[in-house]
Amino acid sequence: PTEMPVIEAELTDAPLVPAPITRKHPAKVVVRLEVTEVVKKLADGVDYTFWTFGGSVPGKFIRVRQNDEVEFHLMNHPDSKNPHNIDLHAVTGPGGGAAATFTAPGQETVFNFKAINPGLYVYHCATAPVGMHIANGMYGLIMVEPEEGMEPVDKEYYVMQGDFYTKGAFGAPGLQPFDMEKALDERPSYVVFNGSVGAMTGDNAITAKVGDKVRLFVGNGGPNLVSSFHVIGEIFDKVHPEGGSNVNTNVQTTLVPAGGSAITEFKVDVPGNYVLVDHSIFRTFNKGALGMLKVEGPDNLAIFSGQTEQKIYLPEGSAIQEMPKSETPKAAFASNKDMRMELGKTLYAQNCQACHQAEGQGITGAFPPLAKSDYLNADVDRSIGVVAHGLEGQIKVNGEVYNSTMPKIKLTDEEIANVMTYVLNSWGNKGGEVNLDQVKKAKA
Ligand code: HEM
Ligand code: CU
């Protein structure tokens, strides 16, 4: 046998990945992965009993080099209630190691494999009922770097999608049990990146600087859904589709199969927030599959200018006329409360209803209600500010926590007065009239 160096594998939790491999020769790599069954957050106020490779979902990221000999140890924590095993798609051999690693609670199993094919591979538990073990979070990624190594980049991150099936609907609070019927019907209550709603937003967002080359190791544990992975505002300069050796260039959205992967690379040229989504888009805005990449640095106006003009467009005129902002067109000017209500109703349908719904009832977990909203009624000026400036961060409305983003709504001060008067006098809210002065003061 050859004299190979023995290396203990560095394992990381998402969104981090182990350092790139600089070795120019194969090694014997020892991987020690511990299975635990743990209660963790699935969303704000929602807990779930996850079954994990290494304590969180997705499982630890493993990074080896082509032709490395891997000595794989699977430990199942004594507190586990179930046996588990592992099928690594990077393994050439029966079950990807599943039978060789079938491990009862409090036991450890070991097997060896040679990583002969380079690529980004999914691993997962394959213990019956397999779908349930995967649905509970038993998946992760192993990167087998090609012999020639990977092109250096500035930032590398680990992103893995999964679908979750809870007895309660999206956002229903408390410890939620697994729902086999929803899983069989492929009707997830949650679709998330890195194991929970919000795992990659706010303070958990991934970051880069203008000019950085970013590489995302993207996986999809499923168990059911195929992901249409997309980053809003970016184009992937390169994609290794399905985690293989081919390279596609200039890609907008890449498919990530259940039990599959993709490597995406892009240079960030413009500062701002870039949103990671499954472009099967209800999953993003209503089931949790939303992550954030925050890019800081100087503007690059040649590539992206931002809005440079906003003006009134009069299609019937021979020329487009610009109007001073303060002057509201006559037709949209309300001189009393009834007119505010009438104009406000139309404004509501055009600007708010898509999210807050026709009767102001909102969508639990995604868009807070305006009907009988304690948040709204407690402080009308604050709510005027929400419409004028947008809102980001955690708020509580009628006992439900919302931690999302409302865009700034582009309305004139008159229009804000009208729509707020309409909202205040609808669906059980406290009434009153909002006038121009109040809007001006509240915005300031
Ligand atoms: C929050 C009003 C349009 C999404 C709020 C709140 C108010 C409000 C008063 C505070 C919470 C509450 O009382 O329920 C309005 C009005 C709109 C409008 C009057 C139209 C003029 C929209 C649109 C969206 C949206 C178009 C979706 C794209 C949200 C979200 C929150 C929120 C997600 C919670 C933000 C957070 O969690 O921090 N909105 N909204 N709103 N709105 Fe709107
Ligand atoms: Cu398992």
Nearest residue to 183 via CA among 136, 122, 128, 220: 136
Q: Which residues, 6 or more positions from 107, have their beta carbon under 8 angstroms from its beta carbon?
A: 75, 76
Distances (CA, A) of 235 to 158, 245, 269: 18, 20, 11
| DSSP states of 85-145 | --EETT--SGGGGTGGG-B-TT-EEEEEEE--S-EEEEEE---SSHHHHHHTT-EEEEEEE
The percent of residues in the chain predicted with pLDDT above 70, rounded, is 95
Give the residue-averaged pLDDT of 432-443. Answer: 95
| pLDDT tens digits along 49-106 | 999 999 999 999 999 999 999 999 999 999 999 999 999 999 999 999 999 999 999 9
pLDDT the model gives residue 410:
84
pLDDT the model gives residue 306:
86
pLDDT the model gives residue 321:
44
Q: Look over the chain and give the mean of its residue pLDDT values, rounded to a whole number.
A: 93
pLDDT the model gives residue 327:
47
Q: Could you tell me the distance, in angstroms and rounded to a whole number, from the CA of residue 373 to the centre of ligand 1? A: 11
pLDDT the model gives residue 405:
81
Q: Which atom of ligand 1 is nearest to the CA of 375?
A: 13
In whole angstroms, give the CA distance from residue 132 to residue 180. Answer: 8
* Region class of 390: left (phi > 0), else alpha (psi between -120 and 50), else beta: left
Paired with 222 in beta bridges are: 162
Task: Assign 10 to helix, strand or coil.
Answer: coil
pLDDT the model gives residue 353:
87
In whole angstroms, give the CA distance from residue 270 to residue 212. Answer: 10
Rounded to a whole number, what is the distance in angstroms from the first to the last CA of the chain? 76
For tokens 């999302």, name the residue: 404
pLDDT the model gives residue 309:
83
Q: Which helix (H) or strand (E) holds 250?
A: strand 248-251
pLDDT the model gives residue 317:
53
Residue 195: phi and psi, rounded to 5, are 90, -10
Question: Is the model's pLDDT at 322 over the cut of 60?
Answer: no
- Show the ligand 1 pocket: residues with CB < 6 angstroms: 351-352, 354-356, 367-370, 373, 375-376, 383, 386-387, 391-393, 395, 397, 402-407, 409, 419, 423
Question: Is the model's pLDDT at 319 over the cut of 90?
Answer: no
| pLDDT tens digits along 198-226 | 999 999 999 999 999 999 999 999 999 99
Alpha carbon 47 to its chain's center: 18
Distances (CA, A) of 35 to 52, 137, 141, 269: 6, 11, 15, 41
Among 209-213, 263-267, 280-284, 323-327, where is mean pLDDT lowest? 323-327
Report whether 344 contacts 372 (CB < 8 A). Answer: no
Paired with 215 in beta bridges are: 156, 265
Q: Could you tell me the distance, in angstroms and rounded to a whole number, from the CA of residue 353 to the centre of ligand 1? A: 10
Residue closest by Cα to atom 40 of ligand 1: 352
Q: Could you tell me the distance, in angstroms and rounded to a whole number, from the CA of residue 412 to the centre of ligand 1? A: 17
Q: Could you tell me the distance, in angstroms and rounded to a whole number, from the CA of residue 290 to the centre of ligand 1? A: 18
In whole angstroms, give the CA distance from residue 40 to residue 105. Answer: 20
Question: Is the model's pLDDT at 354 over the cut of 90?
Answer: no
Q: Could you tell me the distance, in angstroms and rounded to a whole number, from the CA of residue 380 to the centre of ligand 1? A: 13
Strand-pair category, 206-209 with 290-296: parallel
Residue closest by Cα to atom 3 of ligand 1: 352
Percentage helix, strand, coil for the chain under 3-state DSSP, each rounded to 5: 20, 35, 45
Nearest residue to 94 via CA among 69, 68, 122, 113: 113
In whole angstroms, give the CA distance from residue 362 to residue 397. Answer: 11
pLDDT the model gives residue 134:
98
In whole angstroms, give the CA distance from residue 126 to residue 99. Answer: 9
Nearest residue to 173 via CA among 197, 193, 202, 200: 197
pLDDT the model gives residue 324:
47
Report whether 443 contacts 413 (CB < 8 A). Answer: yes
2 — pLDDT class (breaks 50, 70, 90): low
| pLDDT tens digits along 370-392 | 999 999 999 999 999 999 998 98
Pocket-testing residue among 286, 351, 356, ligand 1, by greatest number of atoms within 8 A of Cβ? 356
Question: Is the model's pLDDT at 323 over the cut of 50?
Answer: no
The two three-digit tokens of residue 237, written as one number: 């300069």
For tokens 């995967």, name the residue: 134
| pLDDT tens digits along 163-193 | 999 999 999 999 999 999 999 999 999 999 9
Torsion, Cα 57 296 10 101, to 10 degrees, reads 20
Q: What is the number of the ligand closest to the CA of 124?
A: 2
Residue closest by Cα to atom 43 of ligand 1: 406
| pLDDT tens digits along 6-64 | 999 999 999 999 999 999 999 999 999 999 999 999 999 999 999 999 999 999 999 99
Give the residue-averaged pLDDT of 341-353. Answer: 91
The percent of residues in the chain predicted with pLDDT above 90, rounded, is 86
